[in-house]
Amino acid sequence: MMKINTIFQAKNINDLKSLGSYYELKKHIENQLDVVLGVRGWESLFYKIIFLNKSILNNRNYLYEIYRENDLANSIKIINETLGVQIKATSLKDLENKITNLVSLLGEYDPALRFEETKIKNFKNSSKLEGIDIESPNDSTSLESIIDKYKR
């Protein structure tokens, strides 16, 4: 089956329909995210996907604070209201794992960050081809400073 991010990148209902049947997509999302969506039909599925994605992106830190500051029943209630889905958990640790799973599957992709990571990795690998071994830079090291250090 397809990756969950492929489903969440659908731009309209027709894009969703092209990915598979309604039932398959709904079950795949619910199984991957371990939530109950509570939708009936393509339109409600599409808008639930948009809402869930935005909710996780906008409330990532808040989601972690909820279960740290409340008991299990209140945490589940607040998270369900915030995300618009039903999450079931048997303990705070279980709830933490489910929130971490949701955030890792939906909320962490940043194209600019991914580009920077790839750029540094590719630069290090191409430098190895020329016989230059570059150690992993820390956050304060820029690509320009590395180039200046190994300039011939």
106 has a pLDDT exceeding 80: no
How far is CA 73 from each of CA 19, 86, 146, rounded to the nearest angstrom? 36, 12, 52
pLDDT digits (tens, 9 = 90+) for 54-85: 888 888 888 888 888 888 899 999 999 999 99
- Going by pLDDT thresholds of 50, 70 and 90, the confidence category of residue 133 is confident
Number of C-beta neighbours around residue 128 at 10 A: 11
- Going by pLDDT thresholds of 50, 70 and 90, the confidence category of residue 23 is very high
Q: Which residue is associated with the tokens 């039932």? A: 23
Map 57-104 to HEC letters: HHHHHHHHHHHHHCCHHHHHHHHHHHHCCECCCCCHHHHHHHHHHHHH
Reported residue count of the chain is 152
* Listed range (74-78, 127-131, 138-142) with the worst mean pLDDT: 138-142
Chain-wide mean pLDDT for the chain?
A: 83
pLDDT digits (tens, 9 = 90+) for 31-52: 988 899 999 999 999 999 999 9
Q: What's the pLDDT score for residue 57? A: 83
Q: What's the pLDDT score for residue 14? A: 92
Q: Which whole number is the average pLDDT over 81-90?
A: 91
Q: Which whole number is the average pLDDT over 111-131?
A: 77
